[in-house]
């Protein structure tokens, strides 16, 4: 548990949502949250983003799905999930008992998919906000990725914005030439915040079999190896928009989290670190508090956007 002075230093808000600290468990790395209840204090983190929810259940990609790369991890889970209706019935009731803010990650392969998932979640209680995973191909537009086309991204956010009474976060992909047009498109279409970065498209090869080490071929690289690039993209995105930015990419320690806040993030998400330390979000929050104490900073919000270049 956090002591009172720690709560004071770490307390913040995101899109009107009060958080006990700015450290959030990233989607796809913490299941539906309830699976971790016996190995970590779920109330020690500021928020939790459940794994991506789709209109119908998805079985995911063929194995192998994970490969430990130097300085990180490649994954290709294939967005496996039980579907939004099963989540509401089977997982959400237990999450309502937490003080941690619960965010639902939403994805689809056509705008109507996103809209339907949002409609189902709007009828459920216990969710603080939504995070749109736009790193999916739009099958209605020839497979163009929502995350790489500002116009498609803007259309998607404009469609779901009127359907959602809760805050809407758009999770951006780093697999683009420039992040600023995508960040601006999300903001102009009505997003309440953006989160970045999602994983980098990558390839691991077994030189003996001459095959990919990932069953689906390519995967997404995450972990410490991507942190310097993620910091740069967070900084650029924060300069391009006025809405809050949530930073993620290789965060392992409290000082890592502080770097993202200095770059312009209002909150951070922890992902890959959860695979070897399920208590990472709570631990990182405590380490961030210690950093604030050592730097004589009264509140974590004072760090945001203080980078000088």
pLDDT digits 0-9 by tens, 28-71? 999 999 999 999 999 999 999 999 999 999 999 999 999 999 99
Buried b / exposed e along 24-38 (16+ C-beta atoms within 10 A): bbbbbbbbbbbebee
pLDDT of residue 166: 98
Q: Give the residue numbers marked as catalytic.
A: 136
- The closest of 194, 191, 217 to 204, measured between CA atoms, is 217
pLDDT band (50, 70, 90) for residue 7: low
pLDDT of residue 136: 83
pLDDT band (50, 70, 90) for residue 100: very high
pLDDT digits 0-9 by tens, 168-215? 999 999 999 999 999 999 999 999 999 999 999 999 999 999 999 999
pLDDT of residue 140: 74
Residue 153 makes CB contacts below 8 A (sequence gap 6+) with 134, 146, 147, 170, 182, 185, 186, 189
pLDDT of residue 6: 53
User: Is the pLDDT assigned to residue 76 strictly greater than 80?
Assistant: yes
pLDDT of residue 8: 85
SS3 189: coil
Place of tokens 């270049």: 309
User: Is the pLDDT assigned to residue 5 strictly greater than 70?
Assistant: no
In the chain, % of residues over pLDDT 90: 94
pLDDT of residue 305: 98
pLDDT band (50, 70, 90) for residue 3: very low
pLDDT of residue 218: 95
pLDDT of residue 1: 45
Alpha carbon distances (Å) from 57 to 21, 77, 93, 127, 298 = 32, 14, 19, 20, 45
pLDDT of residue 138: 72
**CATH numeric code, 4-60+79-200+224-303:** 3.20.20.70
Q: Which helix (H) or strand (E) holds 281?
A: helix 280-294
pLDDT of residue 142: 73
What are the φ and ψ backbone dihedral angles of 222, each rounded to 5 degrees?
Answer: -135, 180
pLDDT band (50, 70, 90) for residue 4: very low
Q: What is the mean pLDDT of the chain?
A: 95
Mean pLDDT computed over 220-238:
98
pLDDT of residue 31: 97
């Amino acid at each position: 548990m956090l002591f009172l002075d720690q709560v004071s230093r770490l307390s913040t808000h995101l899109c009107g949502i009060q958080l006990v600290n700015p450290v959030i468990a990233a989607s796809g790395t913490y299941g539906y949250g309830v699976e971790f209840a016996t190995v970590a204090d779920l109330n020690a983190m500021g928020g939790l983003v459940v794994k991506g929810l789709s209109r119908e259940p998805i079985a995911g990609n063929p194995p192998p799905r994970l490969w430990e790369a130097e300085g990180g991890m490649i994954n290709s889970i294939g967005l496996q999930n039980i579907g939004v209706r099963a989540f509401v019935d089977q997982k959400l009731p237990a999450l309502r008992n937490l003080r941690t803010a619960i965010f639902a990650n939403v994805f689809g392969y056509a705008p109507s998919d996103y809209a339907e998932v949002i409609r189902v979640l709007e009828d459920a209680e216990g969710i603080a906000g939504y995070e749109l995973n736009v790193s999916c191909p739009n099958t209605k537009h020839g497979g163009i990725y929502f995350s790489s086309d500002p116009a498609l991204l803007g259309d998607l956010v404009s469609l779901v914005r009127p359907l959602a009474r809760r805050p809407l976060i758009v999770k951006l992909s780093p697999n683009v030439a420039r992040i600023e047009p995508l960040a601006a498109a999300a903001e102009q279409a009505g997003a309440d915040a953006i989160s970045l970065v999602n994983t980098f498209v990558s390839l691991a090869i077994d030189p003996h079999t001459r095959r990919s080490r990932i069953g689906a071929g390519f995967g997404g690289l995450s972990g410490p190896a991507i942190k310097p690039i993620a910091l740069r993209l967070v900084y650029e995105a924060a300069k391009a928009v006025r809405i809050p930015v949530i930073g993620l990419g290789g965060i392992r320690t409290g000082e890592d989290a502080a770097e993202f806040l200095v770059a312009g993030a209002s909150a951070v998400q922890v992902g890959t670190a959860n695979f070897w330390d399920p208590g990472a979000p709570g631990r990182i929050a405590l380490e961030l508090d210690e950093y604030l104490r050592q730097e004589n900073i009264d509140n974590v919000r004072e760090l945001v956007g203080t980078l000088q270049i």
